[in-house]
Amino acid sequence: DRNGQNSKELTVHRGELIEIEDSSKKWWRAKNFLGKVGHVPNNIVEEVEIELRPIV
């Protein structure tokens, strides 16, 4: 877990899925499942592949 230290940082929890919006710098811009946007250090994030399937 990592708590954001200011209003620009996003608090993230171990195992939480976040969407990366910009990964061009050491601090990545990310969005959590609640839609909150902020920056996280790239060394605490692990990329995973997610397969989306339509709901029938």
Q: Between the CA of residue 6 and those of 25, 40, 47, what are the distances in Å? A: 18, 11, 24
pLDDT of residue 18: 96
Q: What is the pLDDT of residues 13-54, one digit of tens each?
A: 999 999 999 999 999 999 999 999 999 999 999 989 888 899
Does residue 53 lie in a domain region? no
Does residue 46 lie in a domain region? no
Report the DSSP beta bridge partners of residue 2: 12
Does residue 45 lie in a domain region? no
Does residue 56 lie in a domain region? no
**Using CA atoms, how far apart are residues 49 and 36, in angstroms rounded to an integer?**
21
Contacts of 37 (CB under 8 A, 6+ apart): 10, 21, 29, 30, 31
The residue among 8 and 52 whose pLDDT is bigger is: 8
Does residue 50 lie in a domain region? no
CATH of the domain at 4: 2.30.30.40
pLDDT of residue 56: 84
Does residue 9 lie in a domain region? yes
Q: Which residue has the tokens 């902020």?
A: 38
Question: How many domains does the chain divide into?
Answer: 1
Q: What range does the domain containing 16 cover? A: 1-39
**pTM for this prediction:** 0.81
